[in-house]
C-alpha cells in the first residue's frame, strides 16, 4: 500500500516536472560527428523533442522540423559545425519555420540512408534526438541487416518519405513542404530502402589478406573503446578515454601491419560511435583471428592504478570490480546512442546460444600472454585475467580480450597515457603478448591457414 502511494506521488512529481519542462523545452547542445562510415547529428534537450523528418529528392535533402523549441543560438550555430569535408552533408540551414517550430534543412551531397531516433537520458546526457546519415551502400548496417534475417520493413513512422518533388528550397521556411499532407508511411512507395548489397568485405587496410608466400596473414581486430557521443571516462586533467584509446589503437595497428605475417583492422578510425555488437560484427566480417579492445577507464577510487586484462565470462564475474567494469563498458551503447531499431535481437540471441567455452579458453590464454608483457612496463592492477560479461567480447569464435591500459582517473597514469613514448611501450608490449600467444598456440594459426 505504502509502495503504491509512493509510486503515485512519484508519478505526480514526474508529471509536474514534465508539465514544467514542456513549457520551455530548450535545446542545450547540438553535436556533429562526421565520419566516412556515417555522420551523426545529436540534439540534446531538457525534455524529449517533438519532431518530424521529411526526406526529399532532387536535390537530396532532409528536412527536420522540431516543435516547441525556440531558435536558440545552439540551433542557429549548427550550420557552423558542418565541415566542408563531411562525406554526406553539404550544408545545414536552420530557421524559424512558424511559431514554436524550427526547421533544419540538411542539404546532402548525394542519396543517403538516414535513421532518426530519440534517446532517453543516459550518462551525463539529457534527452537526445539523433539523426544518423549513412551511405546507401553502408557496410556496417548491411552486415547487421544481413544477420537480422527479418523481412524488409517499411521505413519508421518518423521518416515519412514525400514523393512529390519539391523545388530546391534555397530559402527557409519552405511553406510547400509543410502544407503537403503527410501520408502514412505504408501508403507511399518506400523511399529507397531497397537495400543495396554490402560492398563485400571492403578491406579496411591496404595489406592483402594473402601475402606473397601465399600464407594467410593473421588478422587482429583492434577496437578503440568508446568514440563520438560516448567519450568514455574522463581523466582528472580532462583527457577523454575515447581519444586515448584511438591513439593507442592506431599505433598498435601500425606496429601489427609492419609484421610480415599480420595485419590489423580498426573497428573505428575516427571520433565516432560504433555500437558494441557492431564492433563484434566488424571483427567477424574481417575474419579476425583475435579481437583486442583498448580502454583506459576510471575507477571510483582515484588512487586505483595499474593495467588489467579481461575476458568474457559465461557465468558471472570473477570479481566485484570486473562486474562493475563490465557494467560500465556495456553502458557504452546507452551513452553512445543505439537506436532501438538497430538493436539486433537475432544476433544477440545467436551469440548467447553458442557455447563460447572454447573461445573463452583461448581468450584467457591470450589475455595471460598480454598481461604478462604489460606487467613488464607497468604495475598490474590484477595479476590474473579477470572475467565478466563484456558485450564487446561476445564473438563466439574469436578469442577476445579487453585491455584496461591504465586508469585515466589516476592523475599519474593519465599523464603516462598522453605520453607518446609510453604509448609506444604499451603498444609494443601488447603486440609481444599477441605474438607470444601465437607462438604457444600454433594450432590456431595453422588451422586458419588451412581454411583459406
Per-residue H/E/C for 19-69: HHHHHCCCEEEEEEECCCCCEEEEEEECCCCEEEEEEECCCCEEEEEEECC
Smallest separation, CB 371 to Zn ion (Å)? 17
Residues 377-436 that bind Zn ion (CB under 5 A): none
End-to-end CA distance of the chain: 66
Residues 217-236 that bind Zn ion (CB under 5 A): 225, 232
What Cα–Cα distance (Å) separates residue 85 from each residue in 42, 280, 340?
Answer: 19, 29, 29
Smallest separation, CB 293 to Zn ion (Å)? 8
Nearest by Cα to 316 from 384, 388, 364, 386: 388
Nearer Cβ to Zn ion (161/275): 275
Nearer Cβ to Zn ion (232/399): 232
Smallest separation, CB 191 to Zn ion (Å)? 37
Please state, as a whole number, how many other Cβ atoms lie within 10 Å of the Cβ of residue 86. 18
Nearest by Cα to 382 from 294, 310, 330, 291: 310
Report the distance separating Cα 267 and Cα 269, nearest Å. 7
Nearer Cβ to Zn ion (127/245): 245
Smallest separation, CB 199 to Zn ion (Å)? 30
Contact call for residue 242 and Zn ion (CB under 5 A):
no
Nearer Cβ to Zn ion (160/305): 305
Site string for Zn ion, 110-139 (x = CB under 5 A): ------------------------------
Smallest separation, CB 336 to Zn ion (Å)? 11
Nearer Cβ to Zn ion (102/325): 325
Report the distance separating Cα 267 and Cα 250, nearest Å. 11
Site string for Zn ion, 296-335 (x = CB under 5 A): -x--------------------------------------
Number of residues that bind Zn ion (CB under 5 A): 4
Nearer Cβ to Zn ion (53/246): 246
Site string for Zn ion, 278-297 (x = CB under 5 A): -----------------x-x
Nearer Cβ to Zn ion (224/347): 224
Smallest separation, CB 297 to Zn ion (Å)? 4
Report the distance separating Cα 96 and Cα 71, nearest Å. 6
Peptide bond into 59 cis (omega under 30): yes
User: Please, what is the Cα angle at 385 between 383 and 388, to 5 degrees?
Assistant: 130
Nearest by Cα to 292 from 353, 358, 243, 362: 362
Smallest separation, CB 225 to Zn ion (Å)? 4
Nearer Cβ to Zn ion (48/232): 232
Nearest by Cα to 185 from 214, 158, 224, 222: 158
Nearest by Cα to 111 from 189, 58, 154, 36: 58
Residue pair 21/47 in contact by the 8 Å Cβ criterion: yes
Q: What is the number of the residue whose Cβ is closest to Zn ion?
A: 295
Nearer Cβ to Zn ion (114/293): 293
Smallest separation, CB 227 to Zn ion (Å)? 10
Please state, as a whole number, how many other Cβ atoms lie within 10 Å of the Cβ of residue 107. 18
Smallest separation, CB 223 to Zn ion (Å)? 10
Binding site for Zn ion (CB under 5 A): 225, 232, 295, 297
Amino acid at each position: 500500500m505504502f509502495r503504491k502511494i509512493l509510486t503515485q506521488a512519484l508519478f505526480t512529481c514526474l508529471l509536474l516536472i514534465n508539465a514544467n519542462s514542456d513549457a520551455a523545452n530548450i535545446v542545450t547542445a547540438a553535436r556533429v560527428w562526421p565520419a566516412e562510415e556515417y555522420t551523426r547529428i545529436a540534439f540534446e534537450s531538457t525534455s524529449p523533442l517533438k519532431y518530424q523528418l521529411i526526406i526529399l529528392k532532387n536535390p537530396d535533402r532532409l528536412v527536420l522540423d522540431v516543435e516547441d523549441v525556440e531558435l536558440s543560438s545552439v540551433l542557429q550555430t549548427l550550420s557552423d559545425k558542418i565541415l566542408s569535408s563531411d562525406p554526406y552533408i553539404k550544408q545545414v540551414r536552420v530557421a524559424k519555420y512558424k511559431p514554436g517550430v524550427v526547421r533544419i534543412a540538411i542539404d546532402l551531397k548525394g542519396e543517403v540512408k538516414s535513421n532518426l531516433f530519440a534517446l532517453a537520458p543516459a550518462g551525463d546526457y539529457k534527452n537526445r534526438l539523433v539523426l544518423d546519415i549513412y551511405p546507401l551502400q553502408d557496410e556496417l548496417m548491411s552486415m547487421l541487416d544481413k544477420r537480422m534475417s527479418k523481412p524488409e520493413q517499411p521505413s519508421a513512422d518518423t521518416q515519412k518519405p514525400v514523393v512529390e518533388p519539391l523545388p530546391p528550397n534555397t530559402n527557409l521556411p519552405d511553406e510547400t513542404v509543410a502544407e503537403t499532407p503527410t501520408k502514412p508511411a505504408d501508403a507511399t512507395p518506400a523511399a529507397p530502402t531497397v537495400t543495396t548489397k554490402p560492398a563485400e568485405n571492403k578491406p579496411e587496410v591496404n595489406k592483402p589478406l594473402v601475402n606473397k608466400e601465399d600464407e594467410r596473414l593473421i588478422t587482429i581486430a583492434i577496437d578503440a573503446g568508446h568514440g563520438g557521443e560516448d567519450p568514455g571516462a574522463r581523466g582528472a586533467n580532462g583527457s577523454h578515454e575515447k581519444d586515448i584509446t584511438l591513439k593507442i589503437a592506431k599505433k598498435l595497428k601500425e606496429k601489427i601491419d609492419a609484421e610480415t605475417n599480420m595485419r590489423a583492422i580498426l573497428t573505428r578510425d575516427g571520433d565516432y560511435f560504433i555500437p558494441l555488437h557492431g564492433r563484434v560484427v566488424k571483427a567477424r566480417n574481417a575474419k579476425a583471428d583475435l579481437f583486442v579492445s583498448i580502454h583506459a577507464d576510471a575507477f571510483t577510487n582515484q588512487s586505483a592504478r595499474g593495467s588489467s586484462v579481461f575476458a568474457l565470462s559465461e557465468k558471472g564475474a570473477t570479481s566485484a570490480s570486473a562486474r562493475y567494469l563490465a557494467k560500465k563498458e556495456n553502458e557504452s551503447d546507452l551513452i553512445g546512442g543505439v537506436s532501438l531499431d538497430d538493436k539486433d535481437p537475432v544476433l544477440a540471441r545467436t551469440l548467447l546460444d553458442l557455447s563460447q567455452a572454447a573461445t573463452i579458453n583461448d581468450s584467457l590464454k591470450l589475455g595471460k600472454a598480454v598481461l604478462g608483457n604489460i606487467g613488464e612496463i607497468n604495475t598490474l592492477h590484477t595479476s590474473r585475467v579477470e572475467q565478466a560479461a563484456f558485450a564487446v567480447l561476445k564473438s563466439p569464435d574469436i578469442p577476445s580480450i579487453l585491455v584496461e591500459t591504465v586508469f585515466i582517473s589516476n592523475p599519474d597514469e593519465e599523464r603516462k597515457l598522453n605520453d607518446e613514448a609510453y604509448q609506444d611501450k604499451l603498444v609494443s608490449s601488447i603486440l609481444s603478448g599477441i605474438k607470444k600467444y601465437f607462438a604457444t598456440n600454433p594450432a590456431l594459426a595453422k588451422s586458419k591457414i588451412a581454411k583459406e
